[in-house]
Amino acid sequence: MRAGDRRGPAGLAPARAPRAAGVRRLGLRRHDTRIHPPDGQRSRIPLPACRPGLGAAGTDIVLLASGSVERHEGRAVPRLDTPAWERTAAAASLWQHTRGRLLVLGGPVMDGVSPARAMAEAAVAMGVPREAVTADDRGDTTITAFQLAPRPPADAPPWLVTSALHLPRAMLAARQAGWPVRAFPCDYTVTDSPGWRQWMPSTLAYRRNVELVHEYVGSLAYRWKER
């Protein structure tokens, strides 16, 4: 699939972001509502209409939060980044197949405001029933988020929805916290500069390297703890 192509397998169009009025009710900034950034560097692959192997009806979903909380005009405001919207859209699409519970997991939190709670509200705006969605923002790291949340039964592993780049470290954290989970990656990072141009210095290359080093070092730290 070409970078920036907004259509997935079989020509399926991606889910739309919440309407502007709904976004204002969530207390989010207008510029944070894009599911697809203008540079087309990230592209979500939506679920086909029928996809085997998604588990029995009622399978739960764990959605890892992403984003930050900022002070804006004296109050705490959640800022959802691109991975947050991509993950939420993927979880909402997956829920249409499983119809189980959706748990949004992870911090940070400020004055009772967190990206996890904002993502939970966004999932409701995308069609997941409010009674099926909960948010647990007590953990300020991936592993502490798993450790503080109620552990699911071993015979009913939930789907773990997070960015593909973040997934290996998230799976390590879940395993160390004793969580049985099944991987459901989304938010695949692609390049629109094939060939030699992708090796030229740029701010985009710097951002990608920072993300890669962050995940690599984090995974090494988790593996070191397992020794």
pLDDT at residue 18 is higher than 80: no
Q: In the prediction, which pLDDT does 226 show?
A: 62
Give the residue-averaged pLDDT of 169-179: 92
Is 53-189 assigned to CATH 3.40.50.920? Answer: no
Delimit the domains of the chain by residue range.
Answer: 53-189
Exposure string over 16-52, b if 16+ CB within 10 A, otherwise e: ebbeeebbeebebeeebbebbeeeebbbbbbbeeeee
* Average pLDDT of span 150-174: 91
In this structure, what token pair is assigned to residue 40?
């087309």
Residue-wise pLDDT tens digits, 89-108: 999 999 999 999 999 999 88
Does the pLDDT value for residue 3 go beyond 70? no
Return the pLDDT at 73: 87
pLDDT score of 42 more than 60: no
At 88 the three-state DSSP class reads helix
- Is pTM, for the whole model, over 0.85? no
pLDDT at 15 over 60: no
